C-alpha cells in the first residue's frame, strides 16, 4: 500500500530559507497578528499529521469504492464522513479565511503548502473543501454583508460546503452561451431555473448544507458573457437566525463515471425554480465568479503538484528497494542478487525529473502565494499593484504548468515501477488517473495558455511580463547570483519570443491560439530556472550545515539546468513557426 | 459511443503508393504465390469490416465488465467468446503464418496494417491472438518438426492460443534471475515447476487449449541469462494423434486488477511439475524466446499506433461538431451559436500532432515490416542481411516511440473533448488507460532505449546506423527529393550525437543509460522526417488526382517539419549534457 508523508523538510526550506516568509509577515500589519514562524511551523506539523494519518489512508479505498448515487442522494465512500468530521474540527477549511467571519487569516504562502499535502494525500477528499474555500472567497469579496454574515461562518467551519455551478451541457469554455435563468421575486430573492453539469461536490453526505454559486441570466440581460449574473443558491434554505429551513428546489440528477477522482462526486445539478440571492451587481457575475475561479485555478495547479509529490515518494522508495540488473559500472549491492534499480541512469532520469519539477513547482507555488499575500496585505499601493499584476500573469502558468508537468511526473513515477505501476494495488496508476483531470477542469490548459499569452502578456503590451522579467534581471544582475548564466539566456529567449509574438499577432490573429501552449511551457521553464537559481544559491551558502539536504538541492538544480531547461530550445522553435502550418487544412481534411 | 473505422485510404496510400508493396511481392518468389495487389486489398477490406463491426463494439463493454476469475477459471466479458469464434473463422491468427503448417503466408507489410486495426478496435481482444502469433513464430523457428506439426496448425487456426511466460515476481527486466525449474523425464519430456506473473492470456475461455512458452532452468544450468531454456507447456496435454488428453499440472492462481486492458486476463501462472517440451537447445532459451519477443515488440508498438488512430478519429469528429466560442478571425458558422472548435489553433495543434505522428508511425511500421519481409523472403544474401540489420536496429524504436507517442496522442485526443474526455462513456479515457501499458510490457521503453543505443548502435560501432543513414542520404541526395532540406540536418544531428556518444561511452559507462531515452526519441523523429519527406513527395506528384487527400498529406508533412521535428533540438542538448547531473546524488539523497 502506498504511503504519503508531507515533504516537511523541503516545505520549510521554501517557506523559511528561500522566501523568509516570517520576515514578510512581520512587516505586514494584518498578518503579523495572525501568524509568526512558530505558529506557521506548528500548522505545517499538524497538517502533515492529519494528511498522512487521516486523509491518505482513504485514498485507495475511495478510488476502489467510488461515490454512490441513488434517487438524488450521494453517498461518499466508507470512512469519508468520519474523516471529514475530524478534518473540519481542525479549522482547515477556513485556514486563510477572513477572521471577521471566523476564518483563521493565515497567509496564502502557508495555505498552498497545506493544499499540496491535501491533494498529495487524497485528491477526491481535497476537492470537497477546495470548492468551499473558493466559494467563501467570492462571497467575501462580492456579496452583501448580510449574506457574508449568514453564510461565511458555517462555511469556514466546514459545516457547510460550497460548489461552483458554471458549465452547462452546451456551454463549457464558452460561458457566454449559458441558459440558466434567474427571475427577481418580490422579497428580493431570485428563482433560478436550469441544469448544470460537471459540478464537483454538487451533492454529498459530508456537510449539513451546500452553498451553490450559480451563473444565470436575468430576463433582460444582454446576450453573451456580459449578461451573466452570479447567485448564491443554498441546498437547504437558511432562516433569518441562520438555522436551516426548508429544502430548496434543486436536485442532483446523476453523477458522472470518470477516469479518476472517483471518490469525488461530479454532479448534474438541476435548479427548478430554486431560491437564490444575487452576489455583486447584476450582469457582472462572470467577474465575481473569477474571484473564485482564480482561487481554484491555483488550487487545481497544486493538485498536479501534490500528485507528483506522492508519485515521487512511492517511486523513490521502490527504486531504492527493487533489485534488478547490475550497475553499468559493476555491482553495487554485491551481497544481493542484483542492484537496486536506482543505480540505473534511466531510473535516475525519471526520479530527478520528478524531483526537480516538483521542488521547482513548490517554490513557484509559494512565490505566487507570496504575491497573493502582498496583493492582499501590503500597505504600500505600488507594492500591492505590482503583486496584483504578477498574480494575474502567473496564475494561468501555475494552473497549466503544474498540471501538465504533474501528469508527466506521475507517468514517470508509474514507469519506475515497471509492470507493477500498471497494477491498481500499488497506487501509481491512480495518481495518473487522478491528476489527469487537473489539466482539463477549471479551464483547460489550452484556455489557461490563451489567457496567459493573449490577455496577460500581449493584452497589456508586455507590461506585466516586464515586471516579472525586471525582478529576474534585478536578481540575476545583483552581483552574487552564481547561477545567473543559466537564467538570463532563458529569460531573454522568453522576452524575445514575446516581442516576436506581439508583432505577429498584429497581422495574424491565429498566432496566439496556435502558439500559446508552447509559450506557457516556455514561461514555466524560465520561471523554474529563476527559482532553481535562487534555491541553489541558498543551498550553496548552507552546504556545511547539512550536506545531505543542501547537496541534494544543489545537484537537483544542476540536473534542472542540464536536462530540463534545454526544453526551451524546441519550444521556442515551435512558436516561431507561426500559425501557417496549422491552418493549411480545411476542417474536412482532418 | 465511440466508433472505429480502419483508415483504409491512408493504409492503401502507405502500402501501394509510398512503398509499392505489390512490386516488391512480385519479385520475391515465396511471396508472389501468396499475395498480389488485389488479394491484399481484399484482405484489408475484410479486416476493416471485421474490426469495425465485430471487434470494436466489444471495446467499451469489455472495459466496463472486465475479466472474471474464480477458482482458477477465467471468464472473458460478454460477447468475447462468440466474437472470437467468428474472428478465427477468418484465419486471422495465421495471417502471416507458415503455409506449411496452415498459415496464410501473408507478408508482414500487410499484417502490420491488420494489427493496427485490431488494436485500434479493441486492445484487450487483440492481445488474445497477438501472443498466439508470436508463439507460433518462435515454435516455427526453433522447435522440432514433431512439435511444429503437432502444435502449429491448431494455433494458426486460432483453436489453440499461445502465451509467453517470462516474468517472475523477483525477475522482470532481469530475466537472468528466474528460478522456475525444469527436470528431464525418461520419455524426453520435462517437468516444469515455478510461478510466473503478468502472463497475458495465461488462462481464458476462448480457446480449446493454451500453449505456454515458458523460460526455466535445467538443474545443471549456469547462473544468469546463459542458463535459461525454453519449453513448450500445453494447458491440456496433446496425444500422439493431436487430440486433447489430460489436463497438465498448471493453474491460474489469480488475475491482476489493472489500470486498463481490463478485458485481457493478466495471470499468475503456477506450474506444478507440468509436462513440457524443450524448444531449441538447452541453455539457449533466451535467444529462442527473442524470436517471439521481437515479434511482440513490434506488435506492442503497433498497439500504441492503433490507440492513437482510434483517439484521433473520435477527437476529429468531436472537434468538427462541438460548438464553442468564435474563431479568432471572426465567426465561421454564422448561423450557429458558436463555431466548431476545430477553428481554434490549439485544437488544430492537438489534432495535427495526432495525425502527423499516427500517419508517420503507420509509414514507419510498414517500413520495418518491409525489412522483415526482405529479411525472410529476399533471395539475395546481401539484401537479406541488410534487412536483418535494419530490423534489429528499428524494432526497439518502433516499440518505444510508437507507444510513447501513442500515449501523447491519446492524451491530446482526450484533451480535445474537454470535460467529456474524462468521462467513461466517451471512450477517450479508456484509450489513455489501454495504451499506457504498451510503454511498460514487452520490455519497458527504457529497456528498448538501452537496447537501441547500447547494443544496436554502439554495440556494432555504428554499422547498422550507417546502413540506415546511408539509405536516407541516398534518398535525400537523389536530386528529386524536394524535402531533403528538412531531413538531412536532422539526420546529421543524429549521426553526430551518435559519434559523440561512442566517444563518451568509452570513458563513461553511465552515459548510455542516462541518454538512451532521449536518443531513441531523437531517432524516432529523424525516422519520421525521412518518411514524411517521402510521403510529401508522393503527394506532390499526385495532387491533381485528389486534392483533398494529397493536399492534406502535404499540409500534414509541413506541420510535422514545422512543429514536431524541432523537438530534436532539445533532445540533442539533453543527451550532450552527459551523465554527470544524474549521478551527483547518492541513493539516499533522493
A175-196 confidence digits (pLDDT tens): 999 999 999 999 999 999 999 9
What does the block give as the cell for A336? 544481493
Question: Around Cβ B71, how many Cβ atoms within 10 Å?
Answer: 6
**Cβ contacts of B429 on chain A, cutoff 8 Å:** 258-259, 436
Give yes or no for A351 touching B (CB within 8 A).
Answer: yes
CB B520 within 8 A of CB B462: no
Does the beta-carbon distance from A320 to B170 stay under 8 Å? no
The C-alpha atoms of residue B481 and residue B491 are separated, in whole angstroms, by: 15
Whether residue A457 lies inside any domain: the answer is yes
Give yes or no for B583 touching A (CB within 8 A).
Answer: yes
Taking only residues 482 to 501 of chain B, the set having a beta carbon closer than 8 angstroms to any beta carbon of chain A reads none
The C-alpha atoms of residue B206 and residue B201 are separated, in whole angstroms, by: 10
Of B329, B573, B584, the CB nearest to A566: B573
Whether residue A152 lies inside any domain: the answer is no
**Cβ contacts of B433 on chain A, cutoff 8 Å:** 259, 433
Whether residue B535 lies inside any domain: the answer is yes
Within 8 A by CB and 6+ apart from B51, the residues are: B4, B6, B117, B118, B120, B121, B122
Domain that holds residue A551: 446-581
Whether residue A557 lies inside any domain: the answer is yes
B560-587 confidence digits (pLDDT tens): 999 999 999 999 999 999 999 999 999 9
Nearest chain A Cα to B316, which residue? A590
B246-296 confidence digits (pLDDT tens): 999 999 999 999 999 999 999 999 999 999 999 999 999 999 999 888 889
Number of domains, chain A: 1
Residue indicated by cell numbers 510508437: B402
Whole-prediction pTM: 0.98
The C-alpha atoms of residue A416 and residue A342 are separated, in whole angstroms, by: 9
The C-alpha atoms of residue A523 and residue A517 are separated, in whole angstroms, by: 10
The DSSP bridge partners found for residue A162 are A211
Q: Is A569 a catalytic residue?
A: no
The C-alpha atoms of residue B133 and residue B98 are separated, in whole angstroms, by: 11
What does the block give as the cell for A202? 454538487
Whether residue A477 lies inside any domain: the answer is yes
The C-alpha atoms of residue A458 and residue A494 are separated, in whole angstroms, by: 13
**Tens place of pLDDT for every residue, chain A, 590 residues?**
789 999 999 999 999 999 999 999 999 999 998 999 999 999 999 999 999 999 999 999 999 999 999 999 999 999 999 999 999 999 999 999 999 999 999 999 999 999 999 999 999 999 999 999 999 999 999 999 999 999 999 999 999 999 999 999 999 999 999 999 999 999 999 999 999 999 999 999 999 999 999 999 999 999 999 999 999 999 999 999 999 999 999 999 999 999 999 999 999 999 999 999 999 999 999 999 998 888 899 999 999 999 999 999 999 999 999 999 999 999 999 999 999 999 999 999 999 999 999 999 999 999 999 999 999 999 999 999 999 999 999 999 999 999 999 999 999 999 999 999 999 999 999 999 999 999 999 999 999 999 999 999 999 999 999 999 999 999 999 878 889 999 999 999 999 999 999 999 999 999 999 999 999 999 999 999 999 999 999 999 999 999 999 999 999 999 999 999 999 999 999 999 999 999 999 999 99
State the catalytic residue, choosing from A442, A518, A545, A569.
Answer: A442
Whether residue B243 lies inside any domain: the answer is no
Whether residue A290 lies inside any domain: the answer is no
Chosen from A344, A419, A486, A520 to mutate, greatest number of chain B CBs within 10 A: A419
Within 8 A by CB and 6+ apart from B584, the residues are: A555, A558, A559
Of A174, A256, A337, the CB nearest to B423: A256
Give yes or no for A507 touching B (CB within 8 A).
Answer: no
Of A343, A419, A559, the CB nearest to B172: A419
Taking only residues 234 to 253 of chain A, the set having a beta carbon closer than 8 angstroms to any beta carbon of chain B reads none
Residue B384: alpha-carbon gap to chain centroid: 22
Does the beta-carbon distance from B418 to A444 stay under 8 Å? yes
Chosen from A66, A585, A588 to mutate, greatest number of chain B CBs within 10 A: A585
Chosen from A324, A345, A403 to mutate, greatest number of chain B CBs within 10 A: A345
What does the block give as the cell for B72? 482458477
Q: Binning pLDDT at 50, 70 and 90, where does residue B350 land?
A: very high
Rg of chain A in Å (alpha carbons): 24
Residue indicated by cell numbers 502558468: A397
How much is the pLDDT for B292? 86
Whether residue A396 lies inside any domain: the answer is no
Rg of chain B in Å (alpha carbons): 24
Amino acid at each position: 500500500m502506498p504511503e504519503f508523508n508531507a515533504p516537511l523538510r523541503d516545505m520549510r526550506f521554501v517557506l523559511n530559507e528561500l522566501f523568509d516568509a516570517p520576515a514578510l509577515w512581520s512587516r505586514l500589519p494584518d498578518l503579523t497578528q495572525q501568524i509568526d514562524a512558530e505558529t506557521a511551523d506548528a500548522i505545517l506539523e499538524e497538517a502533515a499529521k492529519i494528511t498522512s494519518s487521516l486523509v491518505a489512508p482513504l485514498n485507495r479505498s475511495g478510488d476502489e469504492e467510488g461515490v454512490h448515487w441513488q434517487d438524488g442522494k450521494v453517498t461518499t465512500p466508507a470512512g469519508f464522513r468520519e474523516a471529514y468530521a475530524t478534518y473540519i474540527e481542525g479549522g482547515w477549511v477556513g485556514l486563510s479565511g477572513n477572521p471577521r467571519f471566523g476564518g483563521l487569516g493565515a497567509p496564502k504562502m502557508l495555505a498552498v503548502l497545506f493544499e499540496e499535502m491535501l491533494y498529495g494525500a487524497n485528491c477526491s477528499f481535497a476537492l470537497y473543501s477546495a470548492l468551499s474555500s473558493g466559494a467563501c472567497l467570492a462571497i467575501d469579496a462580492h456579496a452583501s454583508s448580510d449574506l457574508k454574515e449568514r453564510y461565511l461562518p458555517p462555511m469556514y467551519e466546514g459545516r457547510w460546503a460550497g460548489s461552483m455551478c458554471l458549465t452547462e451541457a452546451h456551454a463549457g469554455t464558452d460561458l457566454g452561451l449559458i441558459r440558466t435563468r434567474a427571475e427577481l421575486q418580490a422579497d428580493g430573492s431570485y428563482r433560478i431555473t436550469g441544469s448544470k453539469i460537471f459540478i464537483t461536490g454538487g451533492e454529498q453526505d459530508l456537510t449539513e448544507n451546500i452553498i451553490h454559486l450559480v451563473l444565470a441570466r436575468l430576463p433582460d440581460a444582454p446576450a453573451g458573457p456580459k449578461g451573466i449574473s452570479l447567485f448564491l443558491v443554498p441546498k437547504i434554505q437558511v432562516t433569518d437566525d441562520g438555522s436551516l429551513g426548508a429544502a430548496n428546489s434543486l436536485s442532483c440528477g446523476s453523477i458522472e463515471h470518470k477516469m479518476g477522482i472517483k471518490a469525488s462526486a461530479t454532479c448534474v445539478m438541476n435548479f427548478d425554480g430554486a431560491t437564490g440571492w444575487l452576489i455583486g451587481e447584476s450582469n457582472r457575475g462572470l467577474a465575481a465568479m473569477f474571484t473564485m475561479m482564480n482561487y481554484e485555478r491555483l488550487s487545481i495547479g497544486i493538485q498536479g503538484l501534490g500528485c507528483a509529490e506522492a508519485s515521487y515518494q512511492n517511486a523513490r522508495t521502490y527504486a531504492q528497494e527493487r533489485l534488478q540488473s547490475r550497475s553499468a559500472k559493476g555491482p553495487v549491492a554485491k551481497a544481493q542478487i542484483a542492484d537496486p534499480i536506482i543505480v540505473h541512469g534511466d531510473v535516475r532520469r525519471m526520479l530527478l525529473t520528478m524531483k526537480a519539477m516538483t521542488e521547482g513547482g513548490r517554490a513557484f507555488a509559494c512565490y505566487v502565494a507570496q504575491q497573493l499575500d502582498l496583493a492582499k496585505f501590503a500597505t504600500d499601493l505600488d507594492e500591492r499593484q505590482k503583486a496584483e499584476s504578477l498574480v494575474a500573469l502567473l496564475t494561468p502558468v501555475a494552473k497549466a504548468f503544474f498540471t501538465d508537468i504533474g501528469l508527466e511526473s506521475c507517468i514517470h513515477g508509474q514507469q519506475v515501477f515497471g509492470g507493477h505501476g500498471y497494477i491498481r494495488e500499488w497506487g501509481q496508476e491512480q495518481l495518473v488517473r487522478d491528476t489527469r483531470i487537473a489539466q482539463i477542469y477549471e479551464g483547460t490548459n489550452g484556455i489557461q495558455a490563451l489567457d496567459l499569452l493573449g490577455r496577460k502578456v500581449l493584452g497589456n503590451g508586455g507590461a506585466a511580463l516586464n515586471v516579472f522579467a525586471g525582478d529576474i534581471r534585478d536578481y540575476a544582475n545583483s552581483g552574487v547570483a552564481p547561477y545567473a548564466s543559466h537564467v538570463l539566456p532563458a529569460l531573454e529567449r522568453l522576452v524575445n519570443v514575446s516581442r516576436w509574438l506581439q508583432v505577429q499577432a498584429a497581422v495574424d490573429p491565429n498566432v496566439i491560439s496556435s502558439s500559446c501552449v508552447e509559450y506557457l511551457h516556455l514561461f514555466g521553464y524560465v520561471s523554474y530556472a529563476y527559482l532553481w537559481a535562487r534555491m541553489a544559491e541558498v543551498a550553496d551558502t548552507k552546504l556545511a550545515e547539512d550536506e545531505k539536504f543542501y547537496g541534494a538541492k544543489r545537484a537537483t538544480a544542476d540536473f534542472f539546468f542540464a536536462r530540463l531547461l534545454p526544453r526551451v530550445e524546441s519550444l521556442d522553435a515551435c512558436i516561431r513557426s507561426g500559425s501557417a502550418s496549422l491552418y493549411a487544412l480545411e476542417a474536412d481534411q482532418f
